[in-house]
Structure 1
Amino acid sequence: MARIYKDAYGVPHVRASSVLDLARAQGEVTARDRTWQMEWLRLRGLGETASVVADAGEAWDDLARRMRVARTAQRALASCSPETRAFLTAYADGVNAGLDSVDAEQVPELRTLGIPAGAWQPWTPLATFLAQHVLFGTIGTRLWERLARSVLGDDARHLRHEGPLTSGSNAWAVGGARTASGMPLIGGDPHRNLEQPGVYQQVRLACEDPDDSFDVVGFSFVGVPGVQHFAHAGEVAWAITNAAADYQDVVDVRPGDALSDDLLRLSDTLAVRTTSWVLGDLGFDALLPLLRARSVHDVDRAFDAWVEPVNNLLIADRSGAVRYRIAGKVPVRDASGGWQGWLADPHRVDAGPDEELVTANERRGPESERIGSSFAPPYRAERIRELLAGRSGLTTADFSEIHNDTLLKSASVLTELVPGAFDEFDGFMAADSAAAARFAAWRSALVRRLVDEPVFAGLVDPSPEHDHGPLFTAVLGLEYRLGLALATLASEALAGRPPYGIDLFAHAKAALADVEAGEIPATWGDTHVAQPVHALVDFDAGIPSLPVSGDQDTVRTMGSYPAISDAATRGSVARYVWDLADRQAGGWVVPTGASGLPGAHYVDQLEPWVEGRLLPIVTDWELLTEESR
């Protein structure tokens, strides 16, 4: 038996008498609230999106088949424990029951396409999860490195954005001696493409089985049961960031040759080796232990089963314990790059009650060297540490202020190229800032000038073997890469080592003249607007484009791409603070709303998210409304 409740923002709270009833009810309410999204995710997992978006889906469908997304999901289901398989099966049954209860005519996307939603299988949740993460690893980075090396040789290193890496998140935790409540706090936000409906579902899952009880609030990937990456279970809470580990390799193969069983063919001449395919596992045996966790040790042990993506994990509990570890399977390679096994040490670090832990995809130290080669720049992690330094009595409001910090630390490096030209710019990328708008316009003008340098000609028009189709066009684009690498190039020039022999100072001065001769937006928010995308390109999702503060490397990450677009199509897809003293003292928010159906909860979180406000986490059942079924 299960009952479903909603809070004032339509967030589902599921209360069940058994784990399987809970999974069914979670599947049912998700299918009703996110009907179109569930169908889109199913088609992505199957590699059948072209059936609804025609040519626009062909590239993805081809990649999904080459990467064997559905087959990997089926193998991963088979590798799960019987209990996990039953959990996934119950969830899929609930999804199908929910879809059966929905009138397709009431779902705008299905009505527009004239199709019903298809049935889910027990392995479908694994396929949807894998489809979300096939391009989350290092494939794009490896393809870029191959292209850059082929044109620039060893000098390709100058075009590194430390990484180059754009996938990211922030997470930080402080011990109880630093908080107002005396208990640890965890805060953070994951960064992904802004989509409507959003990738994460706020949810509460409460099981009242006397022998298997738990009550967890957190974020679930739509289409996946339980909670995975961010949650508060009452006694313990956890959060993750991408660890930027190398769990995907791109290797050369010969056209027509049969591949070894551990490889997936990416193209005629390239193949991919990835952990989930090699192991036939995604780590879903962690899902139920996470729901049942009561302590840092419980969460730590649950994540021993995790496979990919490889994450930085922060955990805290009511005993005051605060821990960091690497979670996921990281391959160990021999001298030739062959995989020999898996890294055994997850590198645990325990923080004292007056200490902090911060992770923002940066190169952390020797533990990072063992797992990867491309990391995010250190700016976000450094800034979060600066904002925490020396502070005590910390509260949810203080953590929310950190969420919203817009200082672009790389700006101080770039503006040294034109001394005095940006003295009025304080480095904060606030939506209402005229100085930030002028800086951004100059930054774009500088990228446009650099693109025309002869040394980059082979990157503007690469040879056919580096054409990997539309899915990779953006990440292999020279403007995109130069925009990310500007601070690296500027640092080289300022150190008296002109990259590629380019006079960056002259280009910076000329770019300033370009800007002054043109029309500069009045404020950063005039062009830096949030633009969640919809899978159906021509579908009017009814989401207004609102000015947003932040930028690519600010703590408030709202990515823009110089010379390409100031619009933020990537950024914080959820924000949260977990207070171990009291769940209701924390807060959370997502970019648009809890529902994918136009109505009361379609965009009712958009303005709070833009404004940087967290919404209440309600755990009092008396304050919730039971939903009829």
Structure 2
Amino acid sequence: MSEPARVDLFRDSLGVPHLRAEDELRLVEAQGRITAIDRGWQIEVDRWRAEGRLAEHLGRVGTEWDRFARRIRLADTAKRAYDALEPADRGWVDAYVHGVNDGLELGRRVPEFQALASLAGSNPVPTPWPGWAPLGVFLVAHVLFSTFPHLLWRAHVARALGDEHVDRFAPESAAAAAGAGSNAWALHGSRTTSGSPLLAGDPHRLIELPGVYQQVRLACDDFDVVGLALPGVPGIPHFGHAGDAAWGITNALAHSAEVFQERLRTGDGGIEALGPEGWEPTSTWIESIRVRGAADETVRVVETERGPVVVDGPGGCFSLRLPARVEADLGFAALRRLLRVRSAADVASAFLGWVDPVNRVLAADRAGEVLRFTAGRVADRERAKRRMPLPAWSTAATRWRELPPPEVVRSMAVDANERPDRPDHDLGFAYAHPSRADRIRMLLSERPDMAAPDMLRIHADTFDARAGGLLARLDEAIGDGSYCSDAAAALATRLRRWDRGMDAGSRDAAMFSAWRSALVRRLAAHPALTALYAPHGMGSIFDPWFSVPGRVGDVLESLLDAADLGIDGPVELVGALEDVAGAASDPAISWGDIHRLHTLHALDDVPGADAPTVTAVPLGGDSDCVRCTASVPGVADVAFRGSVARWVWDLADRRSSRWNVPFGASGDPGSAHFDDQLGAWAKARTVRVETDWAQLERKEWPCAG
């Protein structure tokens, strides 16, 4: 491995790489190289996912993903988008890939690859990354971050309970089920101590090990950007500070990917699909999936005029129209342009090339301008047409919707996946419960001026506003308490006095969680919902979206009002209280005793392979708190989803900016920087971003974190 020409590598005290080069091509090559060195296992796994070759390396546990990846045509979509890139943008991606390939020899020297080598079956020989691989990795990170699995769920509800009950499971809370969420907020300079804007937030995703985001700094003669990169993808797409301008995003939960219900038949020319103009030919073939330690499996791939058939089974036949596939564009041109921004307007201009997922963006600059806008490709459908899969035989594809121009923010702005209060930005169907957004607005309104360290209080906030709504229903159900037991009445009094804080040390929070879980279990077991347990027939890759207890927990308020389903809300509320009051539970247990970190690793379910672990630290917060550490009430109290990064961008002085990730800069379990940020993350703390080169430690290439 040779030293890259005229590229300096520095690391801060947390092992975060700071890269400095003369030009952007040498710089992005160095980014690829250091990513391969620090996150080699992580990016190789995502590459296998993009190629539909996970089972070839991990065995049977990878087959369901491979079927999905082949059916949805991840690799082909990435290749098309790569081939369609402008020459300069494709050269930029190629430089990153060259760096990845140069660094992977060192990046593969981690325990995970050694664990794979010990498994039965042939160990595939490592191969170089193709040019399109970063686009495939980008697709892997986002393809299930879309809202389309919710349409499949609603189709299941309609089939099981009837169309009239679909909306019971799609009020302003159902969107949380897939883990798509984030907080982001902006303060105009008139609201800060420095007089310059502040941006802050935290994205919520599955808590994977190594972490989803990579802290990095990219500097050359033309720009100097610090931010959070997606390992395996060049640039800094989601959260970045370029010195004069900064940006951050949340998921807009927009209707971008469309699902069509298909009718297929076998004709003289092969498989045909019924479209608006009659029967049409499809592209159909069989692919073989290599499975380590087992016989190969096959998958039938079908693509209609609408898009690839992602589901074809007992639950129905559904195709998916993805903007990235339709346009042969993943928005990679925007990634390169974001590095050169100098103003909030530049950020908005760069995001004009964004495709999917659709995001709400907050941008600010040193001159004091703060903007908010929506970026991406959105299907131009009225809201009623975003509710369910569309019949392919009577619905034609539609154009992309023209999005509104950026809005100037003169005080503050908050985005937390709630339904927008601006109708022209209401681009989806179901949104997250508004409690997080409302809580952030309230906290921001408590002081007339704030500084970057003040964002800690917001990041760390554990108040659960939805809990208050459920407890108000319980009070109404109990009435004078004459028909509940003394133990239940005492428990109700205890919960009534609780401050609604899901703090790790709170015993009342643990008791509330026990009551809420009992309520979920009672409703999930109600005879009215039995039909929802019928096999959904969509494939196990979609099981998380079809968890009945998970869905019930998301829509408790809606189901407690479902008298038309035969559900007696007051009876269930009090019954759950009796369940908990009569249980042999330890009143000394605190929320953090049972609400602990639960990480996900690609080797978790691979027989014979030990996955790296970190300490299952106790956590405050919960699904509906600003401090998101999501559990599944009624199923498990552990936190498997939450803030996968926290960031604060100060436009007055970038060195006053702050950040944190759940684990560390390195993906190597043997590195001191594998999990050295875990303790701070567990307490929702952030540390100052160091950008003074004199305060950083110069490293020689090659160098692992």
CA distance, structure 1, for counterparts of residue 15 and residue 651 of structure 2: 24
Is it true that 1:220 corresponds to 2:229 in the alignment? yes
Match of 2:545 in 1: 475
Q: How does 1:335-354 map to 2 (within 5 A)?
A: 338-352=396-410
Of the three residues 597, 613, 622, the one matched with 1:551 is 622
- Deviation (angstroms), 1:51: 1.5
Q: How does 1:115-130 map to 2 (within 5 A)?
A: 117-130=126-139
Q: How does 1:437-456 map to 2 (within 5 A)?
A: 437-456=510-529
- Deviation (angstroms), 1:264: 0.8
Residues 573, 547 of structure 1: alpha-carbon distance in 2 compared, 3 angstrom cutoff:
same
Q: How does 1:376-395 map to 2 (within 5 A)?
A: 376-395=432-451
CA distance, structure 2, for counterparts of residue 520 and residue 33 of structure 1: 45
Number of aligned residues: 613
Q: Say whether the 8 Å CA contact 1:313–1:324 is kept in structure 2.
A: yes
Q: Say whether the 8 Å CA contact 2:420–2:426 is kept in structure 1.
A: no
Q: SS in structure 1 opposite 2:33?
A: helix
- The residue identity in structure 1 corresponding to 2:627 is R
Match of 1:618 in 2: 690
CA distance, structure 1, for counterparts of residue 642 and residue 585 of structure 2: 24
Q: How does 1:105-504 map to 2 (within 5 A)?
A: 106-114=109-117, 117-153=126-162, 154-166=164-176, 167-208=180-221, 213-255=222-264, 256-257=271-272, 258=282, 259-268=303-312, 269-333=317-381, 338-352=396-410, 355-367=411-423, 370-419=426-475, 420-421=492-493, 422-462=495-535, 466-490=536-560, 492=561, 498=563, 500-504=565-569
Q: SS in structure 1 opposite 2:640?
A: strand
- Deviation (angstroms), 1:101: 4.0
Q: SS in structure 2 opposite 1:66?
A: helix
Higher deviation after alignment, 17-26 or 71-80: 71-80
- Deviation (angstroms), 1:469: 1.8
Q: SS in structure 2 opposite 1:339?
A: coil
CA distance, structure 2, for counterparts of residue 96 and residue 39 of structure 1: 11
Residue by residue over 1:179-221, the C-alpha shift from the partner in whole angstroms, topping out at 9 and shown as x without a partner, is 011100000000000011011000000012xxxx110000000
Report the TM-score when normalising by structure 2. 0.85
Q: How does 1:495-574 map to 2 (within 5 A)?
A: 498=563, 500-520=565-585, 522-537=589-604, 538-574=609-645
Residues 315, 520 of structure 1: alpha-carbon distance in 2 compared, 3 angstrom cutoff:
farther
CA distance, structure 2, for counterparts of residue 370 and residue 608 of structure 1: 36
CA distance, structure 2, for counterparts of residue 370 and residue 45 of structure 1: 31
Match of 1:607 in 2: 679
Q: Say whether the 8 Å CA contact 2:169–2:551 is kept in structure 1.
A: yes
Match of 2:480 in 1: none
- Deviation (angstroms), 1:368: 5.7
Q: SS in structure 1 opposite 2:25?
A: helix
Gaps of 5+ in 2: 1-5, 118-122, 265-270, 273-281, 283-302, 386-393, 476-491
Q: Say whether the 8 Å CA contact 2:664–2:677 is kept in structure 1.
A: yes
Q: Calculate the aligned-residue CA RMSD, in Å.
A: 1.6
CA distance, structure 2, for counterparts of residue 30 and residue 431 of structure 1: 34
CA distance, structure 2, for counterparts of residue 503 and residue 436 of structure 1: 25
CA distance, structure 2, for counterparts of residue 478 and residue 472 of structure 1: 13
Q: Say whether the 8 Å CA contact 2:359–2:375 is kept in structure 1.
A: yes
Residues 400, 117 of structure 1: alpha-carbon distance in 2 compared, 3 angstrom cutoff:
farther
Q: Say whether the 8 Å CA contact 2:657–2:688 is kept in structure 1.
A: yes
CA distance, structure 1, for counterparts of residue 136 and residue 555 of structure 2: 34
Q: SS in structure 2 opposite 1:418?
A: helix
Q: SS in structure 1 opposite 2:220?
A: strand
Gaps of 5+ in 1: none
Residue by residue over 1:516-554, the C-alpha shift from the partner in whole angstroms, topping out at 9 and shown as x without a partner, is 222435111111111121110152313010111111111
Residues 285, 302 of structure 1: alpha-carbon distance in 2 compared, 3 angstrom cutoff:
same
CA distance, structure 2, for counterparts of residue 238 and residue 343 of structure 1: 23
Q: How does 1:568-583 map to 2 (within 5 A)?
A: 568-583=639-654
- The residue identity in structure 1 corresponding to 2:378 is V
CA distance, structure 1, for counterparts of residue 558 and residue 175 of structure 2: 13
- Deviation (angstroms), 1:159: 2.4
Q: Say whether the 8 Å CA contact 1:163–1:373 is kept in structure 2.
A: no
- Deviation (angstroms), 1:575: 0.1
CA distance, structure 1, for counterparts of residue 584 and residue 67 of structure 2: 43
Q: SS in structure 2 opposite 1:566?
A: strand
- Deviation (angstroms), 1:488: 2.9
Q: SS in structure 1 opposite 2:249?
A: strand
CA distance, structure 2, for counterparts of residue 513 and residue 347 of structure 1: 54
Q: SS in structure 1 opposite 2:233?
A: coil
Q: Say whether the 8 Å CA contact 2:173–2:554 is kept in structure 1.
A: no
- The residue identity in structure 2 corresponding to 1:553 is D
Q: SS in structure 2 opposite 1:307?
A: coil
Q: SS in structure 1 opposite 2:29?
A: helix
Of the three residues 93, 96, 99, the one matched with 1:94 is 99
Residues 15, 499 of structure 1: alpha-carbon distance in 2 compared, 3 angstrom cutoff:
farther
CA distance, structure 2, for counterparts of residue 499 and residue 26 of structure 1: 58
Residue by residue over 1:128-179, the C-alpha shift from the partner in whole angstroms, topping out at 9 and shown as x without a partner, is 0101111110121011100112222212222235152121000000100110
- Deviation (angstroms), 1:52: 2.1
Q: Computing the radius of gyration over CA atoms, which structure comes out larger, 1 or 2? A: 2
CA distance, structure 1, for counterparts of residue 422 and residue 247 of structure 2: 23
CA distance, structure 1, for counterparts of residue 97 and residue 21 of structure 2: 17
Q: Say whether the 8 Å CA contact 2:307–2:320 is kept in structure 1.
A: yes
Residues 337, 439 of structure 1: alpha-carbon distance in 2 compared, 3 angstrom cutoff:
farther
- The residue identity in structure 1 corresponding to 2:137 is T
Higher deviation after alignment, 153-162 or 78-87: 153-162
Q: Say whether the 8 Å CA contact 2:11–2:698 is kept in structure 1.
A: yes
Q: Say whether the 8 Å CA contact 1:7–1:624 is kept in structure 2.
A: yes
- The residue identity in structure 1 corresponding to 2:662 is P
- Deviation (angstroms), 1:499: 5.3
- The residue identity in structure 2 corresponding to 1:306 is W
CA distance, structure 2, for counterparts of residue 448 and residue 557 of structure 1: 22
Report the TM-score when normalising by structure 1. 0.95
Higher deviation after alignment, 363-372 or 141-150: 363-372
Residues 544, 117 of structure 1: alpha-carbon distance in 2 compared, 3 angstrom cutoff:
farther
Residues 6, 499 of structure 1: alpha-carbon distance in 2 compared, 3 angstrom cutoff:
farther
- Deviation (angstroms), 1:339: 3.2
Q: SS in structure 1 opposite 2:545?
A: coil
Residue by residue over 1:337-380, the C-alpha shift from the partner in whole angstroms, topping out at 9 and shown as x without a partner, is 5333222233421112xx00110111013446652112111111
